[in-house]
Structure 1
Amino acid sequence: MSRHLRIWLPLAAMLAIGLWGLAALRLLPWPEWPALPFTPDDMDLQQILLAFGLMPRGVIALLAGAALGLSGAILQAVLRNPVADPTTLGISSGAQLALVLATILAPDLLAVGRWPVAMAGAGLAAGLVLMIGARRNFAPVTMVIAGMLVGMTASAIATAITLAQGHYLLSLVIWNGGALVQQDWSGVRSLALVVAGGGLFAALLSRPLHVLSLGAEGAAGLGMNVALVRLMAAGLAVWLAATVSAELGLIAFVGLAAPALVRTAGARGIKPLLIWSPVVGALILSVCDGLVLTIAGVTGEMFPTGALTGLFGGPLLLWLLPRLRGSTPPGTERAEGPAPRLAYPRRILSGLTVLLAVAAFMLIWIGRVPDGWAVLDWESLTAFLPMRLPRLIAAASAGAALALAGAMLQRLTANPLASPEVLGVSGGATLGYSAAVFAFAAPTSLALGAGAMIGAALALALVTIFVSHRDMPAERVLLAGISVSALAASVLSAIMATGSPQSWQILGWLSGSSAGIGMAAAVSLAVVAVAVWAATLAMRRWLAVLPLGTGVAAGLGLPLALARLSLILLAGIATGAATMLVGPLSFVGLMAPHMARRMGLARAGDHVTGAALIGALLMLAADFGARMAGFPYELPLGLFASLIGAPWLIWLMMRSKS
């Protein structure tokens, strides 16, 4: 054990014991504590709450923290990636989505327990991310971005489905936040067996993982079956994380924090990492849950412990980002390569413009009535036009703004997985909107819009300040945005899980809807989209040079710092404006630039223009599906955007590296 561990572990243990002791004494004085063995028939209510509520909760916090710490240590060791953990690789979100789907759509699947369902979801998410990583030599940045995007996909679909089934809302939201509330010792017994079995298996894998730490080529040269070791280690990590998710919900970043703190404390080598990461993870989650109980004892408000763990997970990920330097094998995170280039791109751009106009015209005239589909007559059209036209303008403008932001980010970072969702702006806007909902008894549209814009600006400022003070490769900007998004999601989870009436309004806005937008707001968003498009055209030289790399760009006299900050700011404004009016929609900023690029719109000006037109078309399609699929009720717009984007995302990330 290193000197730092010998100092800090006892202090953390004393803090955890103190917090839990305070919570227990607040519930029941020491002389009245029940004696072993616990027999409910001989206890009063307070003794039952202590013996079958608080005590198993304290033990399960230690066990869950140990399981997540061990899972994160294994993932970081096998992938040689210091920011890998069940959260950043999408494993926990996959388990969450599977359990939400089973709870709402097929509750009979839960008859045999939640673990098999959670394991299936976590395994599918992990398998997808690992297959993507295998095609890119497990490059750390690509792995984390792919994992977080898979996690965002799962979370977006789970949120939209939860909204559509309102009677499950409160219990699912609280569970998704990682609540450690216990009613008996059954969860402790099952999780204890998992931790014991996982620890034994990890001990058997410690030597192969040590050999693998020398590098895949070196390990293979020594006769190791590298693929088998990776599969076994990843399977163990997924099993541990899925079990915690099935028992307690989504608890973020403990698997990231524990190994990072162990390394910071001076531990070196695989064996110390596997030994001390579960211990540190157990103390982290125990201290966090003790703080939750302390806050609840003072304020009377209880929120999921998983939300608190995410509060330090985002800043921790930001702190770890510079340590990724040098950990990525050269050449493993290149851009896709040269795109097809049309000789006459104006034909495609003209065709997209005409298609957009025709689509808008058709969506105004065609609709559903109780008897089926119908084409509106002139009288009906004039009656419905004031309601339909603003939402069509807003949806198209939001899609264009998000697509412009995505095109700028992808060119700025030369990374095909860049999109506004990972910049952190949407998360900040969501927090600002939520703050306005809780701050005012009857918030106006102006107050909600101002809150969303302020939140987006603060998130953007945080990412910009972090990046501007470091000579960081451009793709690290994406991970900085992911860190801010994770922090925002954790705060939002705590807010939502309080169970207040405002949860409905916030969750409805999260799913995305253009139904309540008036003409003035729609026109304002259209003006912003046009202004952002004009600004990107003015910066087209920067956008053309940046994908060539920092060395070439600097050699051509490009002001790198000014170009990066200006483009990030412009992308943030576009994303914040769209988010403010129609919610934090997903994937349009990822899909539209790629579609434009594959069409042959390779020049910077043509690329951003085509992406804006395609983004507008995609959002019109999502809005039409949200209105018509569940007629006469409107379904979440964000669900349709996710359903359109998820297949594209999976196909894109599964493509072989060119």
Structure 2
Amino acid sequence: MNPSRYSPWLSALVVAIALAATALNLGPMIANLGLRAALSPPSPGAGQAVLLYYSLLPRLAMACLCGFALGLAGTLSQQVLRNPLASPSTLGIESGAQLALAIATLWSPALIGWSRDGTTALGGFAAMGIVFTVAWRFKFQPVAVILTGLVVGLYCTAIVTLLMLMNDHYLSGLFIWGGGSLNQNDWRQAASLLPKIAACSFLVLLMVRQLNILALGDAAQNLGVRLHFVRALGLFIAVALTAFTVSSVGIIGFLGLAAPAIARAIGARRLQSRLVIAPIIGAALLVIVDQALQMTAASLPAGAITALVGVPVLLVVMLRRGASLQAMPSHRQVVPAAKHPLLRISILIIALFAVAILAIVAGRGVDGSWTTQAGAMLELLLPWRLPRLIAAVSAGIMLALAGSLLQRLTANPMASPEVLGVSAGTAFGLLCVLFLVAEPTYGDRLAGGVAGAAAVLLVLFAMGRGSRSGNRFLVLGVSLGAFLTALISVVLASGDPRALSLVSWMAGSTYAVGSTLAWTSSAFALAGFTAVMLLLRPLQQFTLGEASAHSHGVDIRKFRALIMGLAAMLTAVATLIVGPLSFVGLMAPHMAQRFGLIRGPQHLVGAALFGGLLMATADFLGRTIYFPWQLPTGLMATLLGGPVFALLLVRSRRRALA
């Protein structure tokens, strides 16, 4: 079978499984009541008929509608942004909706009582508005939209996590809503959602020709297509579909990535085919998950379980012989290099030392006032402040180096430890240690984290062997990360105290770091930086293409394994210190670029300095800004890095990120 051609039997198989699962779950009840009675409004006393008509059938309808909407939204996002990693989650819509619900729960519960759907939709569209405001300056160039959406999503997620840590009793329900719930009490939500999805689908049908031409990139302007308008409208429809779905059932985000990827992997290369096949696959996958949950009577989040089912399906169709994800063309513009890079590096070094000194000598007094310490008082405080500062800076450097390596190796600006599933693997490895070891030491946690990260990379190499598609490699990483994150979410939803202890760690806290851990992390950071510098020359040759690297004597397979192994080690060590952060690893390399540090050694040094500076500042603010309580350094790094990156992005005007 030629994998480049569409294989209808594969999509038909998914639909058939969905129909079979529905028949197994609802068939006996419908047969007992009769088809006409099952589809008619029952009398109040008919318990089984009431359950079927007002709960189970609306739930089935919502699964179909939401899966269809998310599949269509993901297809639109990937076509407009020309990146197979793009999805509704990329634009921060789901995180914005979750933040709006958290804020309303804490400070305005009446809004939820009035309309929970309206509250979450308002949050989703507010996040979209921020992304669109920034993207407008760049004429909705794909990389600018993607990175802005990632910043907004990470920012909203950081605020939600912070609010949950400070108000865990009030916001514990967000774990369930965030996992996605399809429970229904009547037909009102389905009746409200259907015309919205139908209207968006009709608009997509009218835009098919313009969306097809978008594949030409900026050259489409020569054909009379208003790129600015088409990109904005396409993203708006994708955002609307996502916001409507999230407001109705919560976050079921993986379908937006999985359904289009599965459609492409089974041969639906043409946009018209993907616009039909991807929504159908999304609906079928969500129905399969929901019917399976009902048959097992498991009270687990549907969104997380969808990832557990969708990831294997995605991997199976991608690993078919010859199946691949065709890389989408992207227009790249070069950011001007700084005329005096050493001067800019010196500025970063001075800034890092200044923040470090401030973090050591400044703080809050007993009465909450700002004070500076010196002499004997400083000697007493130094054993507490210096180790956490060293650990924070070291973690920032390691994450920045890991992000730089992954972005250079894959030639994708979205690559980061989280995107490749390395952070999720580290977190899952640590979770396994917490369940298997009664009193885990730091060595146990380090071994578990490194083992989890290494396992993810080994699986990636095994599945991606022989593939020259960087996009395919990244999608495999995203899928594995989603799978492990879903497993962690299921364990967290179980309420086990050992799992709940992960919540504060996942926020990224350094307040318990001792001198041993601090100096160990600094040794890893120094060793990692030295290794990166030694590998710089072959890394630059590899960036020019595998053919160029091979002609210069670089063993492609061994070099890729070496770089990925180094990135995994740096990520695992840093993750154990400050939690599974992706923001520093994703954004520090881009900050260095925006600062004019473009070329190999300058860029890597600049990224490392930006990572260290971000984490040092975040550690100081987390210790002092909410005194006497301490805010996690990881969350503060996200909250601090967002505006900094946005400023650099805006100052760059309309140059696309390289």
TM-score range, shorter chain: 0.7 to 0.9
The separation in 1 between residues aligned to 2:593 and 2:225, in whole angstroms, is 42
Are the equivalent residues in 2 in contact too, given 1:403–1:593 (CA < 8 A)?
Answer: yes
Contact 2:182 / 2:302 at 8 angstroms: preserved in 1? yes
Asked if 1 retains the 8 angstrom alpha-carbon contact of 2:140 and 2:231, the reply is: no
Q: 1:357 to 1:51 in 2, by over 3 A?
A: same
Structure 2 partner of 1:66 = 68
My pick for the range that moved more, 241-250 or 435-444, is 435-444
Residue 430 of structure 1 aligns to a residue whose secondary structure is: helix
Give the Cα separation in 2 of the matches to 1:546 and 1:376. 50
SS at match of 1:423: coil
- Alignment-mate amino acid for residue 426 of structure 2: A
- What's the counterpart of residue 612 of structure 1? 608
The answer as to 2:639 corresponding to 1:647 is no
Taking only aligned residues, the RMSD between alpha carbons, in angstroms, comes to: 4.0
- Distance of aligned partners of 1:565 and 1:95 in 2 relative to their CA distance in 1, 3 Å threshold: same
Q: CA deviation at 1:631?
A: 0.8
TM-superposition CA deviations, 1:319-356 (whole Å, max 9, x none): 66974435315xx146x34522537x3x7666655654
Take 1:638 and 1:444, find their aligned partners in 2: how far apart are those partners? 22
Q: Does 1:193 align with 2:190?
A: no
Residues 335 and 655 of structure 2 are in contact (CA less than 8 Å); yes or no, is this contact kept in structure 1? no
Match of 1:114, SS state, is helix
Report the secondary structure of 1:374's partner residue. strand
1:430 positional shift? 1.4
Report if aligned partners of 2:622, 2:630 keep a CA contact under 8 Å in 1: yes
2:23 to 6, 18, 22: 18
Task: Answer with 582-591 or 604-613: which moved more.
Answer: 604-613
> What does residue 404 of structure 1 align with?
401
Say whether the 8 Å CA contact 1:91–1:126 is kept in structure 2.
yes
Give distance in 2, aligned partners of 1:355 and 1:23: 70
Larger deviation: 154-163 or 237-246? Answer: 154-163
Query: Offset of 1:402 from its aligned partner?
Result: 1.6
Q: Provide the C-alpha distance between the structure 1 equivalents of 2:195 and 2:491, rounded to a whole number of angstroms.
A: 33
Report matched runs for 1:235-274 at 5 Å. 235-261=236-262, 273-274=274-275
Aligned to 1:339: 337
User: Cα offset for 1:233?
Assistant: 3.8
2:417 paired residue among 417, 420, 428: 420
Alpha carbons of 1:557 and 1:106: their partners in 2 closer, same or farther (altered >3 Å)? farther
Q: Matched residues in 2 for 1:601 and 1:482: separation?
A: 28
2:506 pairs with 507, 510, 515, which one? 510
Return the offset for 1:546: 4.0
Preserved CA contact (<8 Å) 2:450 2:568: no
Q: Counterpart of 2:426? A: 429
CA contact (8 A) 1:90 1:147 kept: yes
**Native 8 Å contact 2:400 2:611 kept in 1:** yes
**Does the 8 Å contact 2:18/2:285 carry over to 1?**
no
Give yes or no for contact 2:528–2:566 (8 Å, CA) kept in 1.
yes
Name the structure 1 match of 2:377.
Answer: 380
In the alignment, the residues of structure 1 paired with residue 145 and residue 348 of structure 2 have an alpha-carbon distance, to the nearest angstrom, of: 34
Distance 1:548 1:219 in 2: 27
Does structure 1 conserve the Cα–Cα contact (< 8 Å) formed by 2:397 and 2:525? yes
Deviation at 1:625, TM superposition (A): 0.9
- Asked whether the 8 Å contact 1:20–1:58 carries over to 2, the reply is no
Distance 1:571 1:142, change over 3 A: farther
Greater Cα shift, 113-122 or 302-311: 113-122
Which of 13, 24, 47 in structure 2 is aligned with 1:8?
A: 13
- Give 2:282's aligned amino acid: G
Q: Secondary structure at the match of 2:363?
A: strand
CA contact (8 A) 1:601 1:610 kept: yes
Residue identity (%): 38
Measured after TM superposition, the shift of residue 173 of structure 1 is: 1.0
| 1:568 and 2:564 are equivalent in the alignment | yes
- Residue of structure 2 aligned with 1:625, choices 609, 621, 625: 621
What is residue 283 of structure 1 aligned with on the other side? Answer: 284
Q: Structure 1 residues 6, 258: CA separation in 2 closer, same or farther (over 3 Å shift)?
A: closer
Q: CA deviation at 1:243?
A: 0.8
Structure 2 CA distance for aligned equivalents of residues 120 and 112 of structure 1: 13
| Structure 1 partner of 2:88 | 86
Partners of 1:131 and 1:315 lie apart in 2 by: 37
Partner of 1:114: 116
Q: Which stretch shows the higher mean deviation, 210-219 or 565-574? A: 210-219
One-letter amino acid of the counterpart of residue 449, structure 2: A
Verify the 8 A CA contact 1:360 1:620 in the aligned structure 2.
yes
- Which stretch has the larger CA shift, 124-133 or 356-365? 124-133
Deviations 1:601-642 (A, max 9, x none): 566445434443443232121011111111111122222111
Letter of the 2:338 counterpart = P
The Cα of 1:287 is off from its aligned counterpart by 0.6
Is contact 2:403–2:585 with CA below 8 Å preserved after alignment?
A: yes
- CA distance in structure 1 between the partners assigned to 2:11 and 2:589 by the alignment: 52
Name 1:501's counterpart in structure 2. 497
Residue in 1 that maps onto 2:301: 304
Deviation string for 1:345-396 (max 9, x for gaps)?
3x76666556545543432332212321223354433433333232222112
> Paired residues, what number?
642
Distance in 1 separating the partners of 2:169 and 2:119: 21
> 2:58 and 2:348 mapped to 1: Cα distance?
61
How far apart are 1:211 and its partner, in Å?
6.3
SS in 1 for 2:173: helix
Q: CA deviation at 1:224?
A: 5.9
Counterpart of 2:98 in structure 1 is: 96
Paired residues of 1:591 and 1:648 also in contact (CA < 8 A): no
| One-letter amino acid matched to 2:305 | L
Q: In the aligned structure 1, how far is the partner of 2:459 from the partner of 2:11?
A: 35
CA spacing shift, 1:478–1:129, aligned 2, 3 Å? farther
Cα gap change, 1:36 to 1:605, in 2 (>3 Å): closer
- 1:134 deviates by 8.1
Provide closer, same or farther for how the CA distance between residues 545 and 138 of structure 1 changes in structure 2, counting only shifts above 3 A.
Answer: farther
